[in-house]
Amino acid sequence: MLPPAVETRALGKSFGLVPVLLDVDLRVASGRAAVIIGGNGAGKSTLLAILAGVSAPSSGNALIFGQESHRLAADTRRNIAMLSHHSFLYPNLTALENLEFYASLYGVRNPHDAAYEWLTRVGLANFAGERVRRFSRGMEQRLAAARAMIAAPMLLLLDEPFGALDSAGVAIMTDLIRTELARGCAVVASAHAPMKFDGVDLDQYEIRRGRLIPLSDHAEPPRASRLRALLGRQNQ
Amino acid sequence: MTAFVAVLSKDLRLELRSGMSTIAMVALAMLVLVVLVFALNPGVARGPEAAAGALWIALVFAGMLGASRALLAENENACIRALLMSPIDRATLFAAKLAAAAIFMMVALAAGVVLTVLFFNLNFSGALVRLAPILVLGVIGFAALATLLAAISGRARGGELLLPLLIVPLFVPALIAGVRAAGAALSGAPMATARDWIGILIAFDVLFVTAGYLLFEHVIGEE
């Protein structure tokens, strides 16, 4: 039986004496999506960084396709992609050059053609020759999404993927995520509020005081979401 | 090999676009050489040994400024994190960064050699042909050391300030050997007289290229 894309067991992370994550158990199979919600500083990005293999857990395990996340083999790293607060894009390279570079790095055949295809998919084909330095935040986010998905990963780690996107960008991102899930990719996304994708089952969790709490469909929404809902009704 | 070429060509393209490192290195090399020409006794300043010393000082200062930039430039937009997440082997990443740093330094050094010949009244002769491999050995050793130490210091707060403090003491053996070997080359002495010094340069290069190749994966990265 193939191991799940993501499996954490009693995962903990501290920065110095400050615990950020405590006893986190998470399991995400291929083709499934998990959404991690929480407020600022809750530990969402920390969890994703551990799953990406760039930060080691302080305790417990984080397994990616059965391998320890901070000791991933090159072949496994090839199957993981991350969309982060940082774009991972070189400001002085053009959009096309950035995608060609990452496509080459990940062993994509015909990096040039793949780069053009993905620029078209994210609506940036007309900006292929523009340096990223001149991009708006939303354009950079779209390009970053293309960078993350160009190598057809089997695990996508998305840190607040809809931030800075306009409605067209949100539609593009939603479509991309849906396509990746349909392809069998596992998705772990972080957000400030629960997400909803039509026709897609999402496993939703909240990080509360460092612990990962599953949210059911009928569970009371987190306190922050109730407050936003209340403010929304008052403003009407 | 594809990943090595991709990283190296990306770094070279970025440097060609901005030129920040190379221009700064050439400017600093020029400044060092001009100051030394006027600071040294004219009788001394025209000698090949003085020229060799001045050139190596210029190499070290310019190298400190620019050799680590190939790696430190990855901090913009956290691109280093993307590199670490990618399938590229850490040793291959080290090799690509070392190659980029060495190329930047050699461009600056070429300008430094021209200035040295002019300021110190040397001849564009066979002595420069004998000097070239000595300088290449020095550049490779310095670039390997700078790349490795940049990875270590990059994880520390104030790492860019720490880097020169780490590089200079460790580079002293190669600096002494390089100055003596370059002096012999420029003065026309038989290269056999500089054999031991060239041996030290080669040993330095082997040591730090190997150290970087083996240790880079343990020192590059985040907490």
Give residue-wise pLDDT tens across range B3-50.
Answer: 999 999 999 999 888 877 778 888 888 888 888 877 876 665 567 888
Burial class (CB in 10 A: 0-12, 13-18, 19+), A86: middle
- For residue A188, give how far its alpha carbon lies from the nearest alpha carbon of chain B (Å): 16
pLDDT tens digits, one per residue of A153-203? 999 999 998 877 888 888 888 999 999 999 999 999 999 888 877 778 889
Residue B214 has a pLDDT of: 92
Residues in chain B within 8 Å Cβ distance of A87: 77
**Is the CB of B78 inside 8 Å of chain A's CB atoms?**
yes
**Is the CB of A190 inside 8 Å of chain B's CB atoms?**
no
Are the C-beta atoms of B207 and B137 separated by less than 8 Å?
no
Report the SS3 class of residue A25. strand
Cβ-defined contact of B87 to A56 (cutoff 8 Å): no
- How many other β-carbons are positioned within 10 Å of the β-carbon of residue B135? 25
Q: Can you tell me the distance from the alpha carbon of A209 to that of A82, in angstroms, rounded to the nearest whole number?
A: 25
Q: Can you tell me the distance from the alpha carbon of B54 to that of A56, in angstroms, rounded to the nearest whole number?
A: 46
Q: Please name the residue of chain B whose CA is at the shortest distance from the CA of residue A92.
A: B14
Residues with Cβ < 8 Å from B196, sequence gap 6 or more? Answer: none
**Is the CB of B220 inside 8 Å of chain A's CB atoms?**
no
Strands (E), chain B: none
Residue A18, token pair as written in the block: 């400050």
* A6-15 sheet: strands from edge to edge: A18-28, A6-15, A59-64, A67-68
Categorize the per-residue pLDDT at A229 as very low, low, confident or very high, splitting at 50, 70 and 90. Answer: very low
Q: Can you tell me the distance from the alpha carbon of A36 to that of A73, in angstroms, rounded to the nearest whole number?
A: 26
Q: Can you tell me the distance from the alpha carbon of A45 to that of A52, in angstroms, rounded to the nearest whole number?
A: 10
- For residue B128, give how far its alpha carbon lies from the nearest alpha carbon of chain A (Å): 37
**Is the CB of A110 inside 8 Å of chain B's CB atoms?**
no
Residue A99 has pLDDT above 80, yes or no: yes
The residue extents of the domains of chain A are 1-79+153-236, 86-152
Are the C-beta atoms of A117 and B15 separated by less than 8 Å?
no
The residue extents of the domains of chain B are 2-219
Cβ-defined contact of B222 to A54 (cutoff 8 Å): yes
Cβ-defined contact of A15 to B223 (cutoff 8 Å): yes
Closest CA to B118 of B37, B202, B188: B37
Which of B18, B86, B223 shows the shortest C-beta gap to A105? B86
Q: Residue B203 forms beta bridges with which residues? A: none
Residue B45 has a pLDDT of: 55
**Which site among B21, B86, B157, B220 would you substitute to test the A interface, given the most A Cβ atoms closer than 10 Å to its Cβ?**
B86
Closest CA to B78 of A206, A234, A91, A29: A91
Round the CA-based radius of gyration of chain A to a whole number and report it.
18
What is A1-79+153-236's CATH number, 3.30.70.20, 3.40.1160.10, 3.40.50.300, 3.50.50.60? 3.40.50.300
- For residue B74, give how far its alpha carbon lies from the nearest alpha carbon of chain A (Å): 8
Residues in chain B within 8 Å Cβ distance of A97: 10, 13
Residue position matching structure tokens 């190598």: A151
Q: Can you tell me the distance from the alpha carbon of B150 to that of B21, in angstroms, rounded to the nearest whole number?
A: 15
pTM: 0.86
Residue position matching structure tokens 């050793």: B141
Q: What is the ipTM of this complex?
A: 0.85
